[in-house]
């Protein structure tokens, strides 16, 4: 496995995934494209973490990014091509935790991930993803949960 250049990653698009998000999630073209790009950035940094530090990333409370991953992976040939072209591996696997057995991700893990994401993409990226990456109820009515 290797990392693509950030320019290669930024130029990568998959319109069938973006269109699927528009239909299934009722997101605008702009929002669907933004979330697709944010997912690809997360994927880059997650793989950088694994390559450089042998640490896996968790996608705790980043449900919109997970929605993008689910939509993209349905296009198996295209997803496989992306894995091979950008990351030099056969297939980037998605390993979701069992929600009934999942443990809360420790603060130090989240801090580590945020530091890596800020290093790669800046604070604006982290602010946007964490603000809108949680469940909608967390954003709209956090005080009720």
Total-model pTM: 0.85
Q: How far apart are the first and last CA of the chain?
A: 41
In a domain? residue 1: no
What domain range is 136 assigned to? Answer: 6-144
**What is the pLDDT confidence band of residue 37, given thresholds at 50, 70 and 90?**
very high
pLDDT, tens digit (0-9, with 9 covering 90-100), for 124-144:
998 888 877 654 434 443 443
Instruction: Measure the CA–CA gap between 18 and 104, rounded to whole angstroms.
Output: 30
CA-to-CA distance for 145 and 125, rounded, in angstroms? Answer: 25
Band of pLDDT at residue 97, cut at 50, 70 and 90: low
Q: Please report the pLDDT score of residue 67 as a whole number.
A: 92
Domain count of the fold of the chain: 1
Distance (Å, rounded) from C-alpha 101 to C-alpha 90?
Answer: 29
Q: Is the pLDDT higher at 120 or at 127?
A: 120
Q: Is residue 138, in this structure, part of any structural domain at all?
A: yes
For residue 2, the model assigns a pLDDT of 95
CA quadruple 54, 120, 28, 79: dihedral positive or negative?
A: negative
């Amino acid at each position: 496995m290797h990392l693509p250049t950030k320019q290669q990653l930024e130029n990568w698009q998959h319109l069938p995934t973006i269109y699927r998000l528009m239909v299934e999630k009722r997101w605008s073209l702009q929002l669907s494209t933004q979330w697709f790009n944010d997912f690809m950035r997360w994927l880059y940094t997650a793989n950088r973490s694994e390559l450089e530090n042998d640490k896996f990333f968790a996608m705790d409370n980043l449900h919109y990014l997970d929605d993008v991953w689910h939509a993209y992976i349905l296009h198996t040939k295209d997803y496989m091509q992306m894995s091979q072209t950008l990351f030099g591996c056969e297939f980037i696997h998605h390993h979701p935790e069992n929600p009934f057995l999942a443990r809360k991700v420790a603060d130090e893990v989240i801090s580590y991930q945020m530091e890596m994401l800020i290093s790669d993409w800046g604070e604006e990226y982290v602010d946007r993803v964490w603000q809108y990456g949680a469940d909608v109820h967390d954003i709209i009515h956090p005080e009720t949960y």
